[in-house]
Amino acid sequence: MKFSAYDRILFTGDSVTDAGRARPVGEGLHTGVGSGYVRVVESLLAAFYPELYLRVSNTGTSGNTSRDLAARWQTDVLDLKPDWLYVCIGVNDVWRQFDSPAITSSHVSLEEYEANLRTMLTSAKAATKGVTLMTPYYMEPLTADPMRARMDEYGAVCRRLAAELDLPLIDTQALFDAYFAHRHSSFVAWDRVHPNQTGCTLLARAILDEAGFDWAHRA
């Protein structure tokens, strides 16, 4: 596994990551990292690798777009000096175009999204051991659905930037699409965005697999 003893692993993004985490930085005892996928990751790391004393932190903020994340990037990411960083942002960049179509000032274009991501990822790559990018997703199997089709465009930006910057990528849309071959999307998210514990477990498993987590490891 790529994590070493006492490494700090930081997750940032929007409400999918936030999940009720503590402020100003989500970490520590009880539900400090929130009740979402970050908590599942933290719990499994502590259970399988207790000897590593890994520090898991969460600065996801509900409602954030990539524009919002870029505005707090210095304080909520770089100043925390993480060893490893996971970024999952973009759902609201798309969602605001559909749930608030008249408030165009809240919309983040595809071009701005790419520029925001490139700036953030480039700075973080230079300051950490590694950055992993997670695509935004919409839990709608029908690819012709307007919001799903738009989200796929933003996911394509992530894939392109990950290749350009030589970063690991977790394709969360592909992850959920594979699951929907067996179960309806309502089984993991009532609104097709915010995952329940099953959805969070799917995300956590993908994150840990990318990190080289050994499911047979014993301390």
Residue 68 designated active-site: no
How far is it, in rounded angstroms, from Cα 205 to Cα 210?
Answer: 9
Residue pair 36/18 in contact by the 8 Å Cβ criterion: yes
Half-sphere exposure (Cβ direction) of 93: Cα atoms closer than 13 Å:
30
Catalytic residue, chosen from 14, 15, 66, 83, is: 15
Nearest to 176 by CA among 185, 163, 186: 185
Residue 185 designated active-site: no
Q: What backbone phi and psi angles, to 5 degrees, belong to 58?
A: -135, 120
Catalytic residue, chosen from 30, 105, 182, 191, is: 191
Catalytic residue, chosen from 18, 93, 171, 194, is: 194
Q: Please, what is the Cα angle at 19 between 15 and 21, to 5 degrees? A: 115
Residue 15 designated active-site: yes
Residue pair 200/33 in contact by the 8 Å Cβ criterion: no
Q: How far is CA 126 from CA 65, 146, 159, in A?
A: 23, 37, 19
List residues with catalytic annotation. Answer: 15, 191, 194
